Structure 1
């Protein structure tokens, strides 16, 4: 990031400052692994940006002096229109260059010129993990409301149909007579419900019509209970926590959360500009 551009390179046609035998002043912020002080020597700096500067200095034959901003910030736009940190020193002409993990945005581009970025990074919102509350109605989650209504209606309809068959169908006995099935309404309902919950029927109708109906009902019961059991196992095994924060506006609307962000950086400027957050720490 530079504050001004002068001269022109004859080989590339790109405007560059005359750096031969020139000493330039460079602003930086101490943040590893870009620029950091050595533990053995507090005045000696090293890092990725320092290595790049050394290679450029050797190739273009210039010397440089590193200067850290007094506020120790990357740079944010102040209320009076000026800038703080590294960006402020570059925009005011106090230094020739600024190095470090500086985010390129529209506001900074108005007061400084950025080089081609050699690293990309991103930031996110860190919130407390929500506590998983015990839901007493998890047994109903495998099916939605429409499916539960359809299953309930199927059970009631099956009870009615089988009771009707039991009351109107006759069977051929050993003495050659036809007699009605000796299954009343209560027994019919009990047979349908016990088979639906896979308890096993205690009554065994002998007519063909009732046997065919129960065969189809048993198949329906097996398919329904198998599907329900598989979905219930998935619901109880895998829990998907609900994200309390999905956007910056959600963060602002939460009165029980305090926003903490590094002051003087691009994230600080972005959050304050988008959400008008005044209480920042």
Structure 2
């Protein structure tokens, strides 16, 4: 450009939504003041490759100085760096790259990282009355320490003021951690689930960990001892047995009265006790001599024998091996049960996924989804009244933490079905200053996000 662009042209050139290729700015300025004003313009914060040439005339020849913006500087703000000089006599003074890699030294600059508890990736100790927290040993903290040592910066860890992971509001802005990044309250987030909506607004690192949503429940306890007497038969079988006994008593009375009518030989009969006695293999002291009655009793005794034999063998089996109802393993089973379910109240990926999903199963899940803290959710899970939906890695850790005796099996169960598989990454503003964190596989990551979305849409 023969001169620095005006405001209207600069707005078009720095519009990130229309940039498809890497941009290089080579601008001619009349003097160092104009060059410096252009290089440190805040509208160019997202651009990394900017150079300005200014003339420097002497008696014998015209020299040109090449200036660039130095993103990081001991002063803590961008500065102007003289990287080369050209003259008509000698050409370029050196062969160094006009756009050198500046992301090798942050000169001790302090960065702010925003995050929430997500063990084993992020753990910290809360400072009362402050957003700042004290980091504790965890995976993302170790990673941040290694990067800070390599690139020479320090950091503070803070939590978002609203205590949320972050969801996209109707006005197009983010809440929670993502809102801290968007509005400049923090420079970088720690591990966050990758979603297309987030990638559209913010830059991110390469995906470094894959996980998926699932749910945890309490294992069903064995039946109580008194229930073992009724569990050999299902409810339908018990209903059939009761109906058959009532019908047998009624028929016995009918045959008894018919016999009493046609003969003076009356039997001392208690129909209900005699019918029930057959189930307990008790002998009868008197029989109907009526042929139809004898046929009825014969079939009844055979029926009673088969029913009681099956009952006694099933009862013996239940006493030897207690029956434990099978656990819930799929969302369909969860929705078909009477159990309540929910997820974390600090709005994150599930709050973005379920209300916007076009999958009927997710829409139905969202209607009755409840929101509690991790502690309250796990307390209700342990009590057996709740199913907690979250990422598998977190639920497995929660299950181990709530197993008070490591030598015995836990009473909690993580479902086998997984849904909404995605990866974790760190997010930061789309500015040149944080280039070292940027993914080097932007195209591949975008394809992965689109594939994940297609998977969830079936």
- Bin the TM-score by the shorter chain: 0.5 to 0.7
Task: Quote how far apart the aligned CAs of 1:191 are.
Answer: 4.0
What is the TM-score when the length of structure 1 is the normalising length? 0.52
1:40-94 CA-to-partner distances (Å, cap 9, x unmatched) read xx76664201223445567xx5344434255154323346432233212333466
Task: Quote how far apart the aligned CAs of 1:155 are.
Answer: 4.6
Task: Quote how far apart the aligned CAs of 1:99 are.
Answer: 1.0
1:93-143 CA-to-partner distances (Å, cap 9, x unmatched) read 66553213x23345434323553241536475999x9xxxxxxxx979844
1:9-29 CA-to-partner distances (Å, cap 9, x unmatched) read xxxxxxxx9674143846232
Pick aligned residue for 1:103 from 193, 201, 225: 193
Q: Is the 8 A contact 2:252 2:293 kept in 1?
A: no
Find the aligned partners of 1:28 and 1:225 in 2 and give their Cα distance. 68
Q: Which residue of 1 aligns with 2:121?
A: 34
Find the aligned partners of 1:229 and 1:278 in 2 and give their Cα distance. 45
From the two aligned structures, give the one with the greater strand fraction.
2
Q: Which residue of 2 aligns with 1:51?
A: 142
Pick aligned residue for 2:304 from 207, 214, 221: 221
Find the aligned partners of 1:110 and 1:209 in 2 and give their Cα distance. 85
Q: Is the 8 A contact 1:26 1:99 kept in 2?
A: no
Root-mean-square deviation (Å): 5.8
Find the aligned partners of 1:148 and 1:96 in 2 and give their Cα distance. 73
Secondary structure of 1:120's match? strand
Pick aligned residue for 1:90 from 166, 176, 181: 181
What is the TM-score when the length of structure 2 is the normalising length? 0.36
Task: Quote how far apart the aligned CAs of 1:158 are.
Answer: 5.5
Q: Is the 8 A contact 1:163 1:184 kept in 2?
A: no
Secondary structure of 2:155's match? strand
Does 1:75 pair with 2:166? yes
Find the aligned partners of 1:156 and 1:247 in 2 and give their Cα distance. 49
Find the aligned partners of 1:116 and 1:53 in 2 and give their Cα distance. 15
Find the aligned partners of 2:271 and 2:244 in 1 and give their Cα distance. 20
Q: Which residue of 2 aligns with 1:156?
A: 250
Higher relative contact order (CA 8 A, sep 6+): 2
Pick aligned residue for 1:203 from 286, 297, 304: 286
Find the aligned partners of 2:370 and 2:241 in 1 and give their Cα distance. 49
Q: Is the 8 A contact 2:259 2:266 kept in 1?
A: no
Find the aligned partners of 2:296 and 2:368 in 1 and give their Cα distance. 68
1:146-182 CA-to-partner distances (Å, cap 9, x unmatched) read 55434433453465468768988xxxxxxxxxxx894
Find the aligned partners of 1:207 and 1:279 in 2 and give their Cα distance. 71
The runs of 5 or more residues in structure 2 that have no matched partner are 1-15, 23-47, 49-100, 127-132, 221-228, 326-335, 357-365, 374-458
Matches within 5 A, 1:223-242: 223-227=306-310
Q: 1:37 to 1:279 in 2, by over 3 A?
A: closer
Q: 1:121 to 1:238 in 2, by over 3 A?
A: same
Q: Which residue of 2 aligns with 1:112?
A: 202
Find the aligned partners of 1:161 and 1:207 in 2 and give their Cα distance. 8
Provide the aligned length of Structure 1 versus Structure 2.
237
Q: Which residue of 2 aligns with 1:172?
A: none
